[in-house]
Amino acid sequence: MFKLNSLRVSVGLAFSMIAASPVWAQNAEPVQNFPSKPITVVVTFPTGGGTDILARLLGNYFPEAFGQSAIIENRAGASGNVGAKHVADKASDGYSLLMVNSSYAINPGVFSSMPFDPKKDLTPIINVAFVPSVIVVPADSPYKQLGAAVTAAKPAKNPVSFGSCGNGTPQHLAGALLNINGKTNMTHIPYTGCGPALRDVMGGQIPMAIITASSAAPHIKSGKLVALGITSAERTTQLPNVPTVAEQGFPGYQINQWHGLLAPAQTSPALQAKLYERVLKIVQNPEVKEKLLAMGYTPAYDDPAAFRKIVHEDIDRFSAVTKMIGLKSD
Q: Is residue 90 part of a domain?
A: yes
pLDDT reading at 11 higher than 90: no
Q: Strand 39-43 to strand 96-101: parallel, antiparallel, or no bridges (unpaired)?
A: parallel
CATH classification at residue 189? 3.40.190.10
pTM: 0.82
CA atoms within 13 A on the CB side of 266: 13
If asked whether residues 137 and 238 sit together in one domain, one would say yes
Q: Which of 225, 236, 271 is nearest to 29 (CA)?
A: 271
% of residues, the chain, pLDDT over 90: 75
Share of the chain above pLDDT 70, in %: 91
Residues 6+ apart with CB under 8 A from 200: 163, 191, 206, 209
Instruction: Report pLDDT digits (tens) over 122-174.
Output: 999 999 999 999 999 999 999 999 999 999 999 999 999 999 988 888 999 99
Cα–Cα distance measured from residue 328 to residue 47, given in angstroms and rounded to the nearest whole number? 26
- DSSP letter, residue 16: G
Question: Quick check: 127 and 307 in contact, CB under 8 A?
Answer: yes
Domain membership of residue 9 (yes or no) is no
| 77-108 pLDDT, tens digit each | 888 899 999 999 999 999 999 999 999 999 99
Which pLDDT score is estimated for 294?
85
Say if residue 6's pLDDT is above 80.
no
Domain ranges, residue 154: 132-248
- The CATH number for 319's domain is 3.40.190.150
Instruction: Decide which of 221, 248, 275 is a domain's last residue.
Output: 248
Count how many domains the chain has.
2
Quick one: 19 and 110 in the same domain? yes
Residue 10 has pLDDT above 50, yes or no: no
297 domain-assigned: yes
Beta strand extents in 241-281 (DSSP E only):
256-264
Average pLDDT, the chain: 89
273 and 231 within one domain: no
The answer to whether residues 238 and 295 belong to one domain is: no
Q: Residue 242: inside a domain, yes or no? A: yes
pLDDT at 28: 63
Statement: residue 15 has pLDDT above 50? no
Question: What 3-state class would DSSP assign to 291?
Answer: helix
Q: How confident is the model at residue 214 (pLDDT cuts 50, 70, 90)?
A: confident
Cβ atoms of residues 40 and 95 within 8 Å? yes
Please indicate, yes or no, whether residues 300 and 263 belong to a single structural domain of this protein: yes
Do 227 and 286 share a structural domain?
Answer: no
Separation of alpha carbons 64 and 85, rounded Å: 29
pLDDT at 261 over 90: yes
Query: Would you say 265 and 278 are in contact if contact means Cβ atoms under 8 Å apart?
Result: no
pLDDT of 330? 65
Verify that 146 and 65 share a domain, yes or no.
Answer: no
CA 189 – CA 175 distance, rounded (Å): 10
| pLDDT the model gives residue 69 | 98
Euclidean distance between CA atoms 247 and 92, whole angstroms: 43
| Judgement on whether residues 96 and 176 belong to the same structural domain of the protein | no
| Confidence category of residue 20, pLDDT binned at 50, 70, 90 | very low
| Torsion, CA 290, CA 292, CA 293, CA 295, rounded to 10 | 120
118 near 107, Cβ under 8 Å?
Answer: yes
Residue 212: phi, psi to the nearest 5?
Answer: -65, 140
What is the distance between the alpha carbons of residues 214 and 259, in angstroms, rounded to a whole number?
A: 14
Of 248, 274, 291, the position where a domain reaches its end is: 248
Contact indicator for 87, 97 with CB cutoff of 8 Å: yes
Instruction: Return the higher-pLDDT residue of 186 and 18.
Output: 186
The more confident residue out of 20 and 304 is: 304
Do residues 195 and 262 share a domain?
Answer: no
* Type and span of the H or E element at 229: strand 225-230
**Residue 21 pLDDT:** 38
At 228, the pLDDT band (50, 70, 90 cuts) reads very high
The per-residue pLDDT for range 289-303, each reduced to its tens digit, is: 999 988 888 899 999
Do 50 and 88 lie in one domain? The reply is yes
